[in-house]
Structure 1
Amino acid sequence: MKPYQQIAIADCGEPLVPIPRGGPYHGNPDQFFMESPSLHPYVKLGADYGGKSPYFLRSGVLAALQVAQAELCRVRPDLMFQIFDAYRPVAVQQFMVDYTYQKLLKARSLSADHLTAAQQAEIWDEVHQFWAAPSLDPATPPPHSTGAAVDLTLAITRGCKVEMGGAIDEISPRSHPDYYATATTPTERSYRRLRTQLRDVMERAGFRQHPNEWWHFCLGDQMWVWLNQQDSQQPNPPQQARYGRCE
C-alpha cells in the first residue's frame, strides 16, 4: 500500500463527463486537443474501456482543468494543453500494468518463467513506481479510475507537442518532475522551464503533481489529499478524498 492509499474517501457523487474536444487554436480555451478515442495509445494496444472513453473526468476536475488552460493561454498564448489520458477503468489499469511488466522483461531479455524471486520483485517495484496497483478495493482505487487524474503535455499547434525532455509513461529517471532542476545546457534548461510552467498553471488551478511523473496531475483524489498534507504551506489541508472509484 502506498502512503496516499491510507486517505479516507467520501465520494461527492459528481458525474464523469466528457472532456470537450477542440482547443484554443479554435478560439475556445475551454476545449482541449486530444486524439480520437479509437487512436488512444492504450486502445491501440488492445485495452478495453468497456464502452467508456479515456477522455472523461469528474465535472469539478474538468472545470479546474479549463481554468488551468485559460491561465496557460494568458501567460503563454503560444501554448495549449494536449490531453494524453484521463479516466481509466480498473480493467485498463490491469492491462497496462501487465503490459508494462512484459515490456520490461523483453527489454532485459528475461523470461517470466526463469526469474528469481529477487528479479521478479525488482521488476514489479519498477512497474509500480509509475503504475498504481489495479485494486478493486473501494478504499484503494487507482488514481485514474476515480476520474480525478489527468495526464497531459504542452503543444504549440494541433498535434505538435512540445519536447518536455521525456515521454509520457517513460519508465526512467527522466520522468521525475525535477529531473532537469540542475540542467546546464540550453536544451535541458528549456525542459526545466516548460515543466515548471506546466506545473505552475496546473497548481494555480488547484491540481497537484505526481511525485514521479511530470505529466500526471490530480485534484480531489487520495493522492491529492496526501500531497496537500505533505505541503507545509497548507495551513488547513483536506482530510478526505472527494473522489473514489468510478465504474
Structure 2
Amino acid sequence: MTILLSDPRVAAVPVDECGEPLVHLDESFGPARSLVRQGLADRLAAARLELPSGLALRVVEGHRSVADQRSIIADYSAQLCAAYPGISADDLRRLSSRFVSPVAVAPHVAGAAVDLTLVDERGHELDLGTKIDATPEQSAGACYFAAEEIGPDARAHRDLLARVLGAVGLVNYPTEWWHWSHGDRYWALVTGAETARYGPVEASSGVITGTAA
C-alpha cells in the first residue's frame, strides 16, 4: 500500500537537523541550477556516474519556499474541490498529498528533494510516460512510478532512475515518478531511519529555520 505524505506516520518522524547548507547544482544537471542540501548534491553526482554513456540527469526543481509550497497546495486543492464537489477536509488533504506535500513535512521545503528526469546527449528528455508534474487526474494515474499504463521505453527509463538513485540512498515518492529525496521525514519512514536529517531551510540565507519534533 502506498504511503502518502499526509500519513500521520510521516509527521511523527523526529528531525535531527544536521545543518548542511543549501548549494546550487552545477549546470551539468540542467539550467535550473536548483538548490539542494549538500549531501543530496553529492548523491546526485554519484548517481550520474552510474548512468549509461550519453545519458544525464536533469533536475528541474529542488528547494521550494514555504510560500511556493502553500501556493501549489492551494491551486491543486481547488482543482480537487472542483472535481469532487463536497469533498471532506480529510479526503482533500489525502488526495492533494498525492501531488503536493503538506508544508510541515514537505521534502522540497527541507531542500531534501528533487524533481528530475533523464536526457540524452543533446539534452532531449527521454520518454518517462508523462511530463513532470502531471497530476493523477491529468495522467489517469500514469504519473505513479509503478503505473502499468506506460510504454516499455518509459518503464525501462523509470527502472533506470530507480537503480541509479536508489543505489545512492534516494527514495521515490510513489505517486510521482520524478520526485526523489534523501534525508527528509518521508525518506526516514520508508528506510527505517530513526530520524530525518533535514528540516525546513531558508533559501535566501542557507540558514536552518528550525524543525518540528
CA distance in 2, matches of 1:9, 1:97: 23
Tell me if 1:143 matches 2:107. Answer: yes
* CA deviations over 1:51-75 (Å, ceiling 9, x no partner): xxxx101111101110011111xxx
CA distance in 2: counterparts of 1:7 and 1:212, whole angstroms: 21
Matched, 1:13 2:10: no
In structure 2, the partner of 1:44 is none
User: Which consecutive unaligned segments of at least 5 residues does structure 2 have?
Assistant: 1-5, 203-213
What is the identity, as a one-letter code, of the residue corresponding to 1:58?
R
Q: What is the letter of the counterpart of residue 88 of structure 1?
A: R
Residue 116 (str. 1) matches residue 71 (str. 2): no
Query: TM-score, length-normalised on structure 2?
Result: 0.82
Q: How does 1:148-167 map to 2 (within 5 A)?
A: 148-167=112-131
Aligned to 1:244: 199
Q: CA RMSD of the aligned region, Å?
A: 2.1
Tell me the alpha carbon deviations over residues 135-190 of structure 1, each in whole angstroms, 9 at most, x when there is no partner: 3xxxxx3111111111100011354111110122212211111113xx7xxx7111
What does 1:165-176 correspond to in 2, within 5 Å?
165-172=129-136, 173-176=141-144
The answer to whether structure 1 residue 132 and structure 2 residue 138 are counterparts is no
Letter aligned with residue 86 of structure 2: T
Name which of 175, 178, 181 aligns with 2:146: 178
Match of 1:218, as an amino acid?
S
Change in CA separation of 1:8 and 1:159 when aligned onto 2, cut-off 3 Å:
same
- 1:196 is aligned, of 135, 156, 159, to 159
Structure 1 residues without counterparts, runs of 5 or longer: 24-31, 37-54, 136-140, 230-237
Looking at structure 2, the residues matched to 207 and 116 of structure 1 have their Cα atoms a distance apart, in angstroms, of 37
The 1-side partners of 2:194 and 2:35 are apart by 25
User: Which has more radius of gyration?
Assistant: 1
1:189-238 CA distance string (max 9 Å, x none): 11111100011100111111112211111111111111112xxxxxxxx2
Can you list the C-alpha shifts for 1:102-146, whole angstroms capped at 9, x where unaligned? 34456x4x8xxxx4354x7655543221111123xxxxx311111
**How many residues matched?**
192
Q: What fraction of aligned residue pairs are identical, expressed as a percent? A: 28
Distance 1:124 1:226, change over 3 A: closer
Give, in whole Å, the separation in 2 of the partners of 1:213 and 1:197.
15
Q: Distance in 2 between matches of 1:169 and 1:143?
A: 15
